A and B are shown apart, each in its own frame.
Chain A
Amino acid sequence: MTQAPRGPVHVTGEVLASKRVGAYWHLTLVAPGVPERFRPGTFVALSTGPGRIARRAMWIHRIKPTGGYGATIELVVEPVGPGTEWLVGLPVGARLEVTGPLGRPWAMPKESVSCVLVGEGYAAASLFPLAERLRERECAVTLVVAGADEAHLLSALEARRSARAVTVVTGDGSIGRHGAVADVIKEVLDQARAEVVYAAGPPATLHAVAAAAEQAGAWSQTALEAPMPCATGLCQGCAVPVVGEDGVGRMVRACTDGPVFRGDRVRWDDLEAPA
Chain B
Amino acid sequence: MSVVLAVDLAGLTLPNPVLVASGCGGTGRELAGFGAFDGLGGFVTRSITVGARPGGDAPRIVETPSGLVNAVGMQNPGIDHFLATELPWLAQRQVPVFVSIVGRSLGEYAELARRLGRSPGVAGIEVNLSAPDAPGTQVFDVREPFHAASVVAAVSRDLPRGMPILAKIRSDVVRVVESARTVLDAGAGAVVVGNALPASMPDGRPGGLSGPAIRPLVLRCVTEVHAEVPEAQIVASGGIVDAHDVRAFLGAGATAVQVGTALLHDPITATRLVAELGEDR
Contact = CB atoms under 8 A, between A and B. Distances in A.
A18 interface: no
B72 interface: yes
A236 interface: yes
Interface in A242-275: 250-251, 256, 274-275
Contacts of A176: none
Contacts of A179: none
Contacts of B60: 236-239
B264 A229 contact: yes
Contacts of B66: 51, 53
A227 B202 CA distance: 15
Interface string B35-58: 000000000001000000011011
A191 B205 CA distance: 48
Nearest to A51: B66
A52 interface: yes
Nearest to A274: B57
Contacts of A238: 60
Given A47-B265, A233-B30, A234-B31, A251 B70 contact: no
A55 B265 contact: yes
Contact of A99 (B31, B212, B267): B267
Contact of B63 (A7, A52, A232): A52
Given A235-B70, A236-B72, A53 B63 contact: yes
A238 B57 CA distance: 10
B186 interface: no
Dominant secondary structure of chain A at its interface with chain B: loop
Interface band, chain A: 20 to 34
B267 A234 contact: yes
A230 B269 CA distance: 13
B115 to A, nearest CB: 22
Given A54-B264, A97-B266, A237 B30 contact: no
A186 interface: no
B88 interface: no
A129 interface: no
A168 B135 CA distance: 51
Contacts of A274: 57-58
A7 B29 CA distance: 12
A17 to B, nearest CB: 25
A131 to B, nearest CB: 28
Contacts of A229: 61, 63, 68, 264
Interface of B: 23-26, 30-31, 33-34, 46, 54-55, 57-63, 65-68, 70, 72, 75, 211-212, 261, 263-268
6 contacts: A47-B266, A230-B264, A230-B265, A236-B72, A251-B55, A274-B57
